[in-house]
Structure 1
Amino acid sequence: MSALRRASNPLKFRGLNVGTSRACCFKSEIVSSYLERKATIFESPQPVSQRSRFYHSTNVGSKFYLEKRGFASQAGAESSESDDDLEDGFSELETPASGNENAVEELAGNEDQLISEPELSDDDNYDIGDPSQNALELSDNETDSAEKRLLRKRAPAELFKAIMAAPGVSVQSVLDKWVAEGKDLDRSEISSAMVNLRRRRMFGRALQLSEWLEANKQQQDFLERDYASRLDLLAKVRGLQKAEAYIAKIPKSFKGELVYRTLLANCVAANNTKKAEEVFNKMKDLEFPITAFACNQLLLLYKRLDKKKIADVLLLMEKENVKPSPFTYKILIDTKGKSNDIMGMDQIVETMKAEGIEPDIGTQAIMAKHYVSGGLKEKAEAILKEMEGGNLEEHRWACRFMLPLYGALGKADEVGRVWKFCEKNPRLDQCMAAIEAWGQLKKIDEAEAVFELMSKTWKKLSSKHYSALLKVYANNKMLSKGKDLIKRMGDNGCRIGPMTWDALIKLYVEAGEVEKADSILNKAAQQNQMKPMFNSFMIIMDKYAKKGDIHNAEKMFHRMRQAGYQARMKQFHTLLQAYINAKAPCYGMRERLKADGLFPNKSLAAQLGQVDAFRRTAVSDLLD
């Protein structure tokens, strides 16, 4: 694991109670490549104060154990949506992408993202997915089994159809009637129903199905995966507290590693750092093996909330001989790309290849996106040609990534070429990608034509599909057309959800109607079934901050807490900017940060200095 340390900015060595000298002996490729490109923290004989000069925060908070203790962490604190499901309904974060259109990158919008925000990148189709509400890989294997692939391909089972046909009746009533009629209720029938309910994000009905099965164990043997499924659904529908309480009710013989890592993944999906670390420590106390899955969950969490602690996870992985998975590299690649450290990203890719792991199409899409944002257009185009492989027919599922990337590059001819190939036999994800691509190129007519093709090809579109065109209208400040599309959604009986709210809010914000957007968000937040996306709050808060509207910026900050989003640096950056633009002092902000287990980085510290009500200057010293 020694090349990854050279690929990145140094991270402060903190919280590891195994001793500095011991850490200095680590020769892990992944750690060194990630940590040592600009300085050698772990191998340098310099004093600690010099080795960690880039970060000067004091660590306070919950203990995150390496052996029994040692991985100090701050308490900190959304989620993403996926159509990728495992048997019994779980989605995979680490499924290999080869030829599988339901692979991990299928997390779009991400949303929980989908209902909230992406796992890897913050904006879209290249993401691996935010437990942000994100799909969770809870199977024992990282590769698809033949059984799982069969479940994905098979038509919805009769049980699922019966549940869907009785929307006004409880799932328990449907199941009671099913059994009374003497129909078979085997595991394949149950699994198919569970997969399809989860795929449609009908977690409430899926939970009713799980509850009935547990109450009627004579109909079906209840295995650890069933308890884990029930736990996962409880966390999604009723929250972490209910899910954690349920663990105490699970028989000891079924209370294994799968159950706890299900809880861990949901803690990460909720961005609850403190709880995630507690669960991880509990797993260590129970002497469960430390797996790549558990470590990857922490990497996802720290990627969003505290990048400095990624180093700690990598060191832990090496100490415990946990081999990085392809998904581990994918997280690190995206982290470096988002930090605009393209050289570091490239070095991680080289380390990955040296370990015999070739980037899959999803990873290549992430790399290409960061090359585009970094202005490296030639490197981005080279990656896109690799993804295509000279044969679109054989690499058809790469089209959904290629279309928006070519759009971001301004390559209208390439977008047209790829879309012409897809148009002959279109798929929903490719249609949405084409709409996004044409929108980036400001070709509204072409984007609308793709949407109309999509509407004619599929009888009923979801809000997710409408949102693709709605975002195009929002980005181009086409308020009138956006309103017409929303009306069309309502006329077609389409349920309005978080992704639609987000696009609608952006539509009004871009049109300059911030108050209207605020009103829409407030109404959406009062619908307790689904919470608005993180981005929906932030886009309005940003506008208030730019105007120096402290009152409304603080109000938005408070409403995010009410919605269940725990504080993170991004919110404080925006809030402080409101004070700066208002030229007003800010009292107690350092204490507020500390209470949330957050510690100012360099940019946040600079903002705090600008609004410090008690700062002293040369003039104030003279006047004293």
Structure 2
Amino acid sequence: MWTLRRASLRLRSQGLNAGAIRASCANLVPTTCVENEGEGGIHQSRNISYGRFLPADVLCSTDLSSLNFAVGWRGLSSQADASSTKEDDGELEGGSNDESDADLSDGDEEGEKLNDALELSDDETDPTKKQSPGRYTQSELFKEIVKAPGLSVDSALNKWVEQGKELGRKEVLLAVRNLRKRKMYGRAFQLFQWLESNKKLEFTERDYVSKLDLIAKLRGLQKAEKYIESVPESFRGELLYRTLLANCVAQNNMMETERIFNKMKDLDLPLTTFTCNQLLLLYKKLDKKKIADVLLLMEKENVKPCIFTYRILLDTKGHANDIAGMEQVLETMKAEGIEPDIQIQTLLARHYTSAGLNEKAETVLKEIEGENLKENRWVCATLIRLYANLGKADEVERIWKVCESKPRVDDCLAAVEAWGKLKKIEEAEAIFERASKKWKLNANNYSVLLMIYANNKMLKKGKDLVKRMTDNGFEIGPLTWNALVRLYIQAGEVEKADSILQKAIQRYKMQPMFSTYMAILGQYAKRGDVHNSEKIFHAMRKSGYTSRISQFEALIQAYINAKVPAYGIRERMKADNLFPNKSVASQLVLVDAFKKNALSDLLD
């Protein structure tokens, strides 16, 4: 197993050229959110003696001499900006039509939202245990809470008790799960507040953990950490702190993540696989060269990787286009007795497709399909999407026919997405209309079709669909904003896209997707619009997206296209603990030339 750590050698000399990172929703359900992450740097390799872990060269770009990570259960340090803590007491939900209720597909970065699954059972916090593909059963208590106006959950609960209805732990936990699934965190928090103040539930460790998680999501990391002081000392254990740590990771806050990690060490809390996976997730996005040190720490502390650990490592290798290294990680995982699950198979198929290894991708798809697809119908949606990635319209049609007579919502959405990707818009629309007549679709579901219109520059149809969403009373969120922004960008209306995003942020007080900002920043950069490029760059920082080389890469391009010098850009990168990779270094050479021209103009 520990040969994994030796994975840190090969890419050190190559640098990471990461492609699109896909983020996934809670409970390890894939999603269509896409985040561009081209943050690879170039690091010189060293000769390091590793003991046993992966036959050399299987992981990521790492120069251990450059790390601030103190190996051994000692500590972490980083100069990353900590501005992502939010102080928002608002209720981050959209009612019964909240976007978070979607059952979307695509993607493999389950752990980005693993902290959303910090509910009240071991199964939900253990990424090695399979989640049911179906939805949670809706509780009656949940339905009553949803019916209540946003800040009147107390009255609904009081009425529930007055009617003599059961309010046992089982009913409460089911209601909390339902609320969390739909990201109705404000209502879930009100439920906990009411239970605690009315002494209707004797709080256990996991109840405190769940409340802490809600505070972190609604009111920010500082208030969540402050809440720990009010928790009985007997419950201030590893589970509570790792929940806070996971929320730091979810907010991409490296400084706070490392500070909480160090605090856990100071408290002599045990180091777990969950905690290490959170660090891997963070460094996968923000500082890949530190991944090897996390693995070294795991080896020293005898923390065994789980299947989720391997998913992170496989995805890191895949995005670096190191297919041989990815396959070595896979073999090591199998040697440890862990067989690939459907998430890993999906991940492999996507990376093989991206690398142009279509035969290998199809082999994996056959493994997913199994001997009898009719008995294995729950994989249809996954297969439909993956065959569309390969451009196999005939295979998409074959799989769709298997489930067409009695499809699930996700089967239909997968088919809509697939036909859109294959430029068969009419087929996509027909299946969408069929689904909308059979089920009450939500804003996320509509966003699938909206994104198709955006990708095909169909502005009028996109506007009509948005009007339909408005008429249906949808409260839209980041996925829909992303589709809207791209719709207007593809129509050449970047200012309109920018305006829509700013209005959405002001109204809903939610964080837009990274790729939404980058789409607008990329357009302004292409125009050489330095003023608006800087505006979006700083908006991203204010929203919590910091310390990414891809943001600087787009910003510098704006200066290049404007033919003006980017004074102080190196110092700004250094302040964010970032250093130019090969691509950015070449950009800096170009933009530096404008300094000479500017000086020449003054002398002339």
- Please indicate, yes or no, whether the TM-score normalized by the shorter chain is above 0.5: yes
Matched-pair contact (CA < 8 Å) for 1:112–1:132: no
Alpha-carbon RMSD across the aligned residues, in angstroms, is: 3.2
Q: CA deviation at 1:593?
A: 1.4
Partner of 2:223 in structure 1? 242
Q: CA deviation at 1:497?
A: 1.4
Q: Cα 1:168–1:518, aligned 2, differ >3 Å: closer, same or farther? A: closer
Partner of 1:586 in structure 2? 566
Q: Cα 1:142–1:203, aligned 2, differ >3 Å: closer, same or farther? A: closer
Partner of 1:163 in structure 2? 145
Match status 1:215 vs 2:197:
yes
Cα distance in 1 for partners of 2:75, 2:225 equals 24
Q: Paired residue for 1:539, among 506, 519, 531? A: 519
Partner of 1:569 in structure 2? 549
Q: CA deviation at 1:137?
A: 4.7
Map 1:361-510; keep pairs closer than 5 Å.
361-458=342-439, 460-510=440-490
Match status 1:527 vs 2:532:
no
Matched residue of 1:487: which SS?
helix
Matched residue of 1:221: which SS?
coil
Amino acid at match of 1:259: L
Q: CA deviation at 1:548?
A: 1.4
Q: Cα 1:588–1:367, aligned 2, differ >3 Å: closer, same or farther? A: same
Amino acid at match of 1:347: Q
Q: CA deviation at 1:587?
A: 0.8
Q: TM-score, normalised by structure 2?
A: 0.84
Partner of 2:300 in structure 1? 319
Q: CA deviation at 1:393?
A: 2.6
Q: CA deviation at 1:499?
A: 0.8
Q: CA deviation at 1:25?
A: 4.7
| Per-residue CA distance 1:574-612 (angstroms, 9 max, x = gap) | 111111222221111122112222232332233223223
Q: Cα 1:132–1:200, aligned 2, differ >3 Å: closer, same or farther? A: closer
Matched-pair contact (CA < 8 Å) for 1:464–1:499: yes
Matched residue of 2:375: which SS?
coil
| Per-residue CA distance 1:264-306 (angstroms, 9 max, x = gap) | 1100000000101111111111111111110000111111111
| Per-residue CA distance 1:9-43 (angstroms, 9 max, x = gap) | 3449xxxxxxxxxx94532324845359x9xx9xx
Task: Tell me: higher relative CO, structure 1 or 2? Use CA pairs within 8 A at least 6 residues apart.
Answer: 2
Amino acid at match of 1:561: R
Match status 1:29 vs 2:11:
no
Partner of 1:103 in structure 2? none
Q: CA deviation at 1:495?
A: 1.7
Query: Could you list the runs of 5+ residues in structure 1 that have no partner in the other structure?
Result: 13-22, 42-51, 80-110, 115-122
Matched residue of 2:110: which SS?
coil
Q: Between the two proteins, what is the percent identity of the paired residues? A: 59
Amino acid at match of 1:27: G
Cα distance in 2 for partners of 1:466, 1:420 equals 23
Q: Cα 1:351–1:211, aligned 2, differ >3 Å: closer, same or farther? A: same
Cα distance in 1 for partners of 2:105, 2:134 equals 24
Q: CA deviation at 1:134?
A: 6.3
Q: TM-score, normalised by structure 1?
A: 0.82
Matched-pair contact (CA < 8 Å) for 1:387–1:398: yes
Partner of 1:310 in structure 2? 291
Q: Cα 1:148–1:334, aligned 2, differ >3 Å: closer, same or farther? A: closer
Q: Paired residue for 1:203, among 176, 179, 185? A: 185
Matched-pair contact (CA < 8 Å) for 2:310–2:333: yes
Q: CA deviation at 1:538?
A: 0.7
| Per-residue CA distance 1:444-490 (angstroms, 9 max, x = gap) | 011011101111111x2110000011111111111111111111111
Matched-pair contact (CA < 8 Å) for 1:462–1:495: no
How many aligned residue pairs are there? 550
Match status 1:353 vs 2:334:
yes
Amino acid at match of 2:416: I
| Per-residue CA distance 1:411-449 (angstroms, 9 max, x = gap) | 111001111112222112222111111011100011011
| Per-residue CA distance 1:302-355 (angstroms, 9 max, x = gap) | 111111111111111111111110011100111111111111111111111111
Cα distance in 2 for partners of 1:275, 1:562 equals 16
Partner of 2:494 in structure 1? 514
Partner of 1:101 in structure 2? none
Map 1:3-18; keep pairs closer than 5 Å.
3-4=3-4, 5-6=6-7, 9-11=10-12
